[in-house]
A and B are shown apart, each in its own frame.
Chain A
Amino acid sequence: SQQGEEDPQALSIQEGENATMNCSYKTSINNLQWYRQNSGRGLVHLILIRSNEREKHSGRLRVTLDTSKKSSSLLITASRAADTASYFCAAYRDDKIIFGKGTRLHILP
């Protein structure tokens, strides 16, 4: 079963703009992770935020976590063509990592 639901399911923005993706989950978690997947390829771990953290930054990425609302957001600033990919949130709980449905991000030149 899937833990998370991302929205939007698909997002197209102009290069240079910021992209925001949201993720909601159903149960309590130990941490929440975001991954990127290029078409037909493996996963790249982007960032992990623990349940006692509210915000985390890594380069052009900013992740927030609201445990009271069971939601997280991933912000990619100053988007580039190379950011075109699918992005998944994944909740870690009970020694399992369960993925959300993902957001397909397309950066337009």
Chain B
Amino acid sequence: GAVVSQHPSRVICKSGTSVKIECRSLDFQATTMFWYRQFPKQSLMLMATSNEGSKATYEQGVEKDKFLINHASLTLSTLTVTSAHPEDSSFYICSAGDRGLKHYGYTFGSGTRLTVV
């Protein structure tokens, strides 16, 4: 089945630095990628949707200059948390899908736990 590889699984960074999270679709072309954030004991909140070759569409309240999303190829999307602060500490999960197969569900990465100290 479809596999999405997300790296790193855990990262600790200092406040003020930037962190890049990668999400790769291994055996299919991901025309659409979603990025979610999840705080402890809460649900997944959609941050942004990106389509290959296009600018990402951000959900209301998500700062596009802080959470930079790049989806330059059909197999790779990246989320960069710029100038990270402790309140950005969270679990970030990507989801990838092929628009042609959209009714068959999307595949999720294993998540990245970001801790900003």
Q: What is the total of A-B residue contacts with beta carbons within 8 Å?
A: 58
- Chain B, 26-52, CB within 8 A of any chain A CB: 32, 34, 36, 41-46, 49
Q: Does A100 lie within 8 Å of B43, measured CB to CB?
A: yes
How many A residues are at the interface, by size bracket?
20 to 34
Q: Does B44 lie within 8 Å of A48, measured CB to CB?
A: no
Give, as a whole number of angstroms, the nearest-CB distance from B93 to chain A: 6
How many B residues are at the interface, by size bracket?
20 to 34
Q: Is the interface of A mostly helix, strand, loop or mixed?
A: strand
Collect the chain A residues with CB atoms within 8 Å of residue B93's CB.
Answer: 42-43
Give, as a whole number of angstroms, the nearest-CB distance from B1 to chain A: 9
Residue among A2, A40, A45 making CB contact with B105, cutoff 8 Å: A45
Residue among B44, B95, B107 making CB contact with A88, cutoff 8 Å: B44
Q: A30-B103, A31-B103, A96-B49 are in contact. Are A42 and B43 (CB under 8 A)?
A: no
Give, as a whole number of angstroms, the nearest-CB distance from A87 to chain B: 11
Q: A41-B111, A99-B44 are in contact. Are A92 and B102 (CB under 8 A)?
A: yes
Q: Does B58 contact A (CB under 8 A)?
A: no
Q: Does A106 contact B (CB under 8 A)?
A: no
